[in-house]
């Protein structure tokens, strides 16, 4: 067996002959980034073989001089002999926490008329106090018998349900029952009802439950699992109030940046389990941090609502996602039955039911259905609205009280910093705004956190492209000006680069290729909007409003977005940014029975438009590959 030593850490592991460097690195606990899912095309897993024996696959991405210096793609290079390898560790994902805006403020971006009222407050898991008969000689009934009779009686009178309810008590709670039932005459039971079945979630002596009066009697979780980030809210189920919230990167990022890469990565069974356990670890870690912060008990978290895209749902469940991307694109599950926290490995009360917001298409998931609760599209109205969620993918829903039509487009990760040479997420050190001097063509810029720039984020790219266009330093096709001399523009043969910050130790520059990636992303989204409207015989002028959700949407300047052709001029004063609607919708469904029902109504009303089979989409897309568009009349004139 070849042993492999990884520098700079110096950790050594034993590898199998013909094992890839990537697999050996994972064995060594190293986080090697593979946005493409290990297919040898993204070049992010590049390593340098310092000594020893490896077998490299031919790869056009690696030029001869790099090969000579020992560079190799970890995913496509197999080990044959003892080897020493230098790796580039994932810098801004697992080793550095992101900076996330406080999501609990997002709910304030939602129209108050859409939020649950006090009367709506009804979590899936209820609490009821019961007083079983105490054990006496000659009674002939067991603890379990007396418990079931008392619970059924209390529920029948509380719910007026008749006496046909069956009780489902998990074995773990039966094990505690003899002590609990003798500790106090009154018991507090957490339960939920499915059909004619009462599922018991927890049983506590009422005494000990009220001893903890300072802590909430029952907690719930609203969870948004994005491809990139996971947002978690801890909610007091009695008041509906958000107790605390936290966001972190999805631990699966190391296995691919977008859903397609994750699906590819998951094709081996042990890798599906790796992805499943990675996101569960992210969730449990966020949870633990939150509980330490507010001092709550994991065992009192009785309920959880999860909003996520179709692929993330499959991965959370450990269900193979591959049929999502294989013709005829039929996923394994849209409406997930109520599994328990124990089934999913989530560290809360083991019998807590997990409500997963239903998905409606391979690429139109529960995150969008959840998000619709935060928009006028969930209302009974004749006005037409368009909902747009820009994340790693772009999803769009058009409709009113009569119809809903949704679609998804692969905008690519450019708006989140992916596919951009010095791109990064909107975290500390990212350039977020760039002004361009019309005379000299040179840049002035602002950085998140006011620090030394490390790279540029999506809104920074849009700001840059918009201002280069306004000042005439790029043309409609995204080509940098080559005729007028400009210190900021470096020309190398047929390609050109725009230098935002020239200082050697903090240089940030953007290539024409980077600009093309932004153009392709905005073209994908704009043409999807256009086609969706066209499909129902409408135009932008018919929209009463447009709601933009997603972490990226939060930082977007609508003038800049119109300047590059991402948003049409016609809706200038009708755009609302409404933050992370996925987690806000999950929160509403967690605490309100009416909103839970609304989720399923919205999902059942939705028609899914598959753009990949839609004639005319490619024409629209090609027409949008200009700044702002071949049909400039749709956009604000360039200022």
Q: Which residues bind a copy of itself (CB under 8 A)?
A: 135-145, 166-169, 171, 174-175, 177-179, 182, 194-197, 317-320, 322-323, 327-337, 339, 343-344, 360-361, 608, 610, 613
Question: Cis peptide leading into 328, omega within 30 of 0?
Answer: yes
CB nearer a copy of itself, residue 24 or residue 180: 180
CB nearer a copy of itself, residue 256 or residue 331: 331
Tokens 């201002």 belong to 467
Minimum distance from CB of 264 to a copy of itself (Å)?
Answer: 16
CB nearer a copy of itself, residue 88 or residue 605: 605
CB nearer a copy of itself, residue 360 or residue 556: 360
- If one counts every other C-beta atom within 10 angstroms of the C-beta of residue 423, the result is 23
Minimum distance from CB of 582 to a copy of itself (Å)?
Answer: 20
Count CA atoms closer than 13 A to 497's CA, side-chain side: 15
Contact (CB, 8 A) for 384 and 376: no
Minimum distance from CB of 143 to a copy of itself (Å)?
Answer: 4
Minimum distance from CB of 166 to a copy of itself (Å)?
Answer: 5
Helix axes 310-317, 269-294, angle to 10 degrees: 90
Minimum distance from CB of 593 to a copy of itself (Å)?
Answer: 19
Contact (CB, 8 A) for 540 and 396: no
CB nearer a copy of itself, residue 195 or residue 450: 195
> Taking Cα atoms as reference points, which of 27, 26, 44, 22 lies closest to residue 35?
44
175 alpha carbon, distance to own chain's centre: 38
CB nearer a copy of itself, residue 311 or residue 463: 311
d(CA 397, CA 405): 6
Minimum distance from CB of 348 to a copy of itself (Å)?
Answer: 16
Minimum distance from CB of 340 to a copy of itself (Å)?
Answer: 9
Minimum distance from CB of 355 to a copy of itself (Å)?
Answer: 15
Minimum distance from CB of 617 to a copy of itself (Å)?
Answer: 16
CB nearer a copy of itself, residue 330 or residue 506: 330
CB nearer a copy of itself, residue 310 or residue 582: 310
How would you label 292-326 residue by residue, b for 16+ Cβ within 10 Å and e otherwise?
eeeebebebbbbbbbbbbbbbbbbbbbbbbebbee
Contact (CB, 8 A) for 467 and 476: no
What's the Cα-to-Cα distance from 558 to each of 156, 391, 414, rounded to whole Å? 55, 17, 18
N- to C-terminal Cα separation, the chain: 65
- 195: burial class by Cβ within 10 Å (0-12, 13-18, 19+)? exposed
CB nearer a copy of itself, residue 29 or residue 178: 178
Q: Which pair of structure tokens corresponds to residue 348? A: 């809360």
């Amino acid at each position: 067996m070849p042993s492999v030593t990884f520098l700079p850490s110096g950790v050594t592991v034993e590898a199998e002959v013909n094992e890839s460097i990537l697999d050996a690195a994972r064995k060594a606990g190293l986080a090697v980034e593979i946005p493409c899912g290990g297919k040898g095309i993204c070049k992010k897993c590049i390593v340098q073989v310092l000594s020893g024996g490896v077998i490299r696959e031919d790869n056009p991405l690696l030029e001869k001089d790099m090969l000579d210096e020992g560079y190799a793609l970890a995913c496509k290079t197999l080990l044959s002999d003892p080897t020493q390898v230098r790796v580039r560790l994932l810098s801004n994902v697992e080793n550095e926490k992101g900076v996330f805006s406080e999501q609990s403020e997002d709910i304030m971006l939602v129209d108050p008329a859409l939020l649950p009222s006090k009367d709506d407050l009804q979590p899936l898991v209820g609490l009821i106090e019961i007083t079983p008969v105490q054990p006496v000689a000659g009674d002939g009934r067991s603890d379990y018998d007396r418990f079931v009779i008392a619970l059924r009686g209390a529920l029948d009178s509380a719910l007026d349900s008749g006496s046909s309810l069956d009780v489902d008590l998990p074995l773990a709670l039966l094990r505690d029952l003899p002590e609990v039932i003798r500790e106090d005459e009154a018991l507090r039971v957490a339960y939920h009802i499915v059909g004619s079945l009462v599922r018991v979630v927890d049983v506590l002596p009422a005494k000990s439950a009220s001893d903890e009066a300072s802590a909430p009697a029952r907690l719930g979780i609203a969870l948004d699992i994005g491809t990139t980030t996971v947002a978690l809210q801890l909610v007091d189920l009695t008041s509906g109030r958000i107790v605390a919230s936290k966001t972190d990167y999805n631990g699966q990022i190391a296995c691919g940046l977008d859903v397609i890469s994750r699906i590819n990565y998951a094709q081996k069974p042990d890798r599906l389990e790796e992805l499943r356990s990675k996101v569960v670890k992210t969730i449990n870690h966020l949870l633990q941090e939150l509980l330490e912060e507010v001092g709550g008990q994991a065992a009192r978290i009785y309920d959880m609502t999860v909003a996520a895209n179709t692929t993330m749902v499959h991965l959370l469940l450990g269900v193979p996602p591959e049929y999502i991307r294989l013709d005829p694109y039929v996923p394994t599950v849209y409406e997930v039955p109520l599994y328990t926290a124990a089934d999913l490995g989530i560290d809360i009360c083991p019998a807590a039911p997990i409500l997963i917001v239903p998905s409606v298409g391979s690429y139109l998931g529960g995150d969008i259905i959840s998000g619709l609760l935060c928009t006028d599209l969930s209302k009974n109205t004749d006005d037409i609205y368009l909902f747009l969620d820009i994340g790693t993918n772009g999803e769009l829903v058009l409709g009113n009280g009569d119809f809903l039509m949704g679609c998804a487009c692969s905008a690519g990760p450019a708006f989140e910093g992916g596919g951009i040479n010095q791109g990064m997420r909107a975290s500390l050190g990212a350039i977020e705004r760039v002004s361009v001097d019309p005379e000299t063509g040179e840049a002035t810029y602002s950085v998140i956190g006011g620090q030394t720039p490390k790279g540029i984020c999506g809104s920074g790219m849009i700001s840059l492209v918009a201002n280069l266009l306004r000042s005439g330093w790029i043309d409609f096709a995204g080509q940098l000006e080559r005729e007028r001399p400009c210190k900021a523009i470096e020309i190398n043969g047929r390609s050109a680069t725009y230098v935002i910050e020239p200082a050697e130790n903090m240089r940030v520059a953007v290539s024409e290729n980077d600009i093309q990636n932004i153009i392709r992303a905005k073209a994908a989204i704009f043409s999807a909007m256009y086609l969706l409207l066209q499909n129902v015989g409408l135009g932008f002028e018919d929209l009463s409003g447009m709601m933009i959700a997603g972490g990226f949407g939060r930082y977007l300047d609508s003038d800049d977005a119109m300047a590059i052709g991402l948003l049409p001029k016609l809706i200038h004063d009708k755009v609302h940014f409404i933050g992370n609607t996925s987690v806000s919708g999950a929160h509403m469904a967690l605490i309100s029975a009416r909103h839970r029902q609304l989720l399923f109504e919205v999902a059942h009303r939705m028609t899914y438009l598959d753009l990949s089979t839609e004639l005319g989409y490619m024409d629209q897309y090609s027409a949008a590959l200009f700044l702002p568009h071949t049909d400039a009349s749709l956009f604000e004139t360039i200022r």
